[in-house]
Amino acid sequence: MIKNIRNNLEIELPGMKSWNRMSVEPMQDSRTINERIINYREWSSKENVKNMKKAAVLVCFFRKNNEYYFPLIKRPMHNRNHPGQIALPGGSKERNESLKVAALREAFEEVGIQPNDVDVIGEMTPLPVPVSGFLIYPFIGITKAEPKWILNEREVDELIVLKFVDLIDSDNGYCEEWNLKDKMLKVPIFKIMNVKIWGATAAILSELMDLSKNSN
């Protein structure tokens, strides 16, 4: 799996094609998949994203009992951006630091992953999130052992450690109908036991799953 990810990071990234599978759409949306991808391209254009705030997240794999795992977090309800949502460790880029350093720093500050323990193997497609005004840069890393978790209670309500194969098994087209701000929306979800992953995090993980597939 990791070998596939390494190899696929060296070729054209799937980006929008992966995101589209998990995109939240109005219930009355009659656009075709190609029309939705064209819309992605419009709001992902350099002109639209150049003024977005930059943030970085880390997908941090570790191996246990011959299976790959990675951490997610549940944001506190008092969090200004995406309260209560399931997310990858990460946050805003600080001045004069690289995006990779930002991803590692935030993962350390939020859940205790030591930056020096992480082998960063690559970067996925930057994901624009218009609702919050962020452009998210996802990085993929590996540690030799499970990190010693130390949670920042101001930024993390709960740590969720997922087996990667369980995420793959949840990619089954499951959707729910939600009423958000008086709009009925169709929300694709990765549902793993009581965990519901949607929105930007689901889009990033959708690309990750595509990268994990054998490209031959």
pLDDT at 168: 93
Residue 20's nearest CA partner among 209, 184, 207, 180 is 207
pLDDT at 37: 45
Banded model confidence at residue 40, pLDDT cuts 50, 70, 90: low
Phi, psi of 116 (to 5 degrees): -70, -15
The type of residue at 213 is K
Q: What is the mean pLDDT of residues 164-190?
A: 88
* Cα–Cα distance for residue pair 136/189, rounded to 1 Å: 19
pLDDT at 47: 63
Q: What tokens appear for 156 in the block?
A: 């993390």
More confident residue, 81 or 37: 81
Question: Lowest-confidence range among 58-67, 105-114, 180-189?
Answer: 180-189
What domains can be seen in the chain, in order of their start residue? 2-211 (3.90.79.10)
Burial class (CB within 10 angstroms; exposed 0-12, middle 13-18, buried 19+) of 121: middle
Cβ atoms 146, 140 nearer than 8 A? no
pLDDT at 45: 61
Q: Is the pLDDT of residue 30 over 60?
A: no
Banded model confidence at residue 192, pLDDT cuts 50, 70, 90: very high
pLDDT, tens digit, 9 for 90 and up, residues 82-129 = 677 899 999 999 999 999 999 999 999 999 999 999 999 999 999 998
Which of 41-45, 105-109, 181-185: highest mean pLDDT?
105-109
